[in-house]
Structure 1
């Protein structure tokens, strides 16, 4: 399910992605910000994902109601430059949907 949700993001289908989330989803970008509910996530995606990000999942781990994705993400910053990040997303599911996200995202050093 998480792979399908991320595939929707990669295609720029943010509403498709949000269909995998609970209405009261919570996204906690550790040390940065917390988004509460689909409307906050929608606004975030509209601002940050002006161009769909490119994900590369290196490890996907599931246990019970938890899914952990570890990998790389490439995003365009506000200046339009491509920036690479390492990330670890820890999702807790509720009723089969993405409910609670703890996202650890670190910018990779430039080569």
Structure 2
């Protein structure tokens, strides 16, 4: 049987993919925070439902143009947290690519996602990747 918090993540991505805001509000706390590390224009802490959804919109757009290959390496879950470790590879036409390890730590309370935090094996490589994308998109 799948861990309940993994099911919440699945419901989040299903609702997000359908742009079903009512279902998203059932799995994402209004006061959710999301931390994306680095020294690049997309880094920082996103606060609240709208800000976090906007962040996912931005990352979805970037990764949608990046021909991402994501390999899930390890997933662990307990009552309050899920940790996902992945290898992410991109194949962008502009040659700005990354092949790195990333972890996402999800925090839950009362059956909802209340916090997310990304961790990069190489913050410098991730920062360079996202900075180049930002500069390309904002010429």
TM-score, normalised on structure 1?
0.69
Aligned partners of 2:70 and 2:89 also within 8 Å:
yes
Q: Does 2:29 match 1:22?
A: yes
Using the alignment, how far apart are the partners of 1:98 and 1:43 within structure 2?
A: 16
Give the corresponding residue for 1:85: 100
Bigger CA radius of gyration: 2
Change (3 A) 1:3 1:38: closer
Choose which of 25, 46, 50 in structure 2 pairs with 1:35: 46
Task: Note the C-alpha offset of 1:37.
Answer: 1.2
Give the corresponding residue for 2:118: 103
Q: Does 2:77 match 1:67?
A: no
Choose which of 7, 14, 38 in structure 2 pairs with 1:8: 14
Q: Does 2:53 match 1:46?
A: no
Q: Which runs of 5+ in 2 are unaligned?
A: 1-6, 127-139
Aligned partners of 1:28 and 1:102 also within 8 Å:
yes
Task: Note the C-alpha offset of 1:67.
Answer: 0.9
Would you say how many aligned residue pairs link Structure 1 and Structure 2?
Answer: 105
